[in-house]
Copies of this chain bind each other. A is one copy, B any other.
Amino acid sequence: MSSSLPRAAIPPAITELTVDHEWLTVTWSDGPASRFPALWLRDNLPEGRHAPEGQRTFDIATLPAYIELGDAVLNDDGRLAVTFQPEGLTAIFEPDWLRGHDLSAAARAARRRRPTLWDAGLQERLPEQPWQEAAEGGPGLLRFLRNLDRCGLAILRGGPAEPETVFEAVSWFGYVRETNYGRLFDVVSLEAPSNLAFTGLALGLHTDNPYRDPVPGLQLLHCLEASAEGGESLAVDGFAVAERLRAEAPQDFALLARHAVPFRYLDRKAGVDLSARAPLIELDDEGQVVALRYNNRSAAPFDLPAEVLPEFYRAYRRFGRLLHEAGQRVAFRLAPGDLFAVDNRRVLHGRTGYGGGFGGRRRLQGCYADKDGLRSRLAILEAELEGA
């Protein structure tokens, strides 16, 4: 599994075993000990799966009400023979497998995916590469997928400037998420801001479709046309800004993570009324930021207790200010044939303003996809190319 701890060059061996009814304690040749509950071991019996990491063949409901360890023996080949009672069942566990599933806090933390947070400094080392490199698969594709997974952002340069090229990029790792906007949507920008107050400001930073359930995990935008005067694309690492908020104003961070707010997109003529309630900052069970929604256009009236709203708005406004700080964003121009992919639950995108009164024009084609395919393909490529 791609998120597992890297194996040591020489796998540590088991030097000592202790069995105490419901617990197995294993001491390793390089020092630490690992403790495993008997029921956890029984639930993860190698013989109970179609393959070492394959599908389990029994339901938890079929196990005896009480399970404890009988005996545990270290075989000559270094593997562990464990007997479970009352079943009298003996199973063989590989030391590598046990070590890879150590349940200590440090081992568990090391197994988690950690995003590479970034700010405007990323401008000097934008995660970009030639289209052809990714299109060839292998290490070039691995690089593209890893950029997108770790940075939430990846750019390909100099691909075909043909319609529907964006589908080709999706086919490298996953599937198009079709929505009411179609499998493919055209983004044609005429540089005529409807509100002059916004001119020159880096506004409009947002994540797409927070009113959708589930929110699309990835957005890919492919440039078909761009005039020289067109504005630049902007991107902001929402996870990095959320971590700034957590550090600088922990109460504000907690408020945005604590309360869900409604989002809505209504277009009666098109027969569409999408709505969802979700937090602006979404945490997992260990407190890590896993998703972010920010979209002034589709934020519906916040449906929170009246007394919570003043402090919630304080937090929301602070978060909005941090997201729009110049030091958080990168800017880049898309030429015809270029492709820009973002993690839509993490990276906000937008446009720069444009001055001088000259009209620019650009035409993009976009589509949505999901992250499961990305991570699956990445894990497979890592295993193939790096033995991960």
Could you tell me which A residues sit within 8 Å of B by CB distance? 1-3, 22, 35-37, 39-40, 43-44, 51, 53-63, 101, 103-105, 108, 111, 175-180, 194-195, 197-198, 203-205, 211-215, 217, 258-260, 264-266, 268, 271-277, 279, 284-286, 296-306, 309-310, 313, 316-317, 320-321, 323-324, 370-373, 375-377, 379-380, 383
Contacts and interface: CB of A to CB of B under 8 A. Distances in A.
Given A111-B303, A284-B260, A380-B273, A320 B177 contact: no
B60 A275 contact: no
Given A39-B309, A273-B376, A279-B285, 20 more contacts: A36-B306, A37-B309, A39-B313, A40-B301, A43-B313, A51-B266, A53-B266, A60-B296, A61-B323, A62-B197, A62-B203, A101-B303, A104-B306, A108-B304, A179-B372, A211-B372, A213-B370, A271-B380, A275-B379, A276-B372
Contacts of A194: 57
B272 A321 contact: no
Nearest to A44: B301
A108 B59 contact: no
A388 to B, nearest CB: 11
Given A178-B176, A264-B1, A377-B271, A60 B297 contact: no
A35 B306 contact: yes
A64 B77 CA distance: 72
A271 B293 CA distance: 32
A195 B57 contact: yes
State how many copies of this chain the complex holds.
2
A320 B61 contact: yes
Contact of A313 (B37, B104, B305, B375): B37
Nearest to A379: B273
A66 to B, nearest CB: 11
Which of A62, A266, A297 has the most chain B CB atoms closer than 10 A to its own CB? A266
B103 A297 contact: no
Given A111-B303, A306-B37, A60 B320 contact: yes
Contacts of A321: 61
A198 B57 CA distance: 11
B175 A1 contact: no
Nearest to A2: B273
Contacts of A61: 203, 317, 320-321, 323-324
A315 to B, nearest CB: 11
A316 B56 CA distance: 16
Contact of A178 (B108, B175, B211, B299): B175
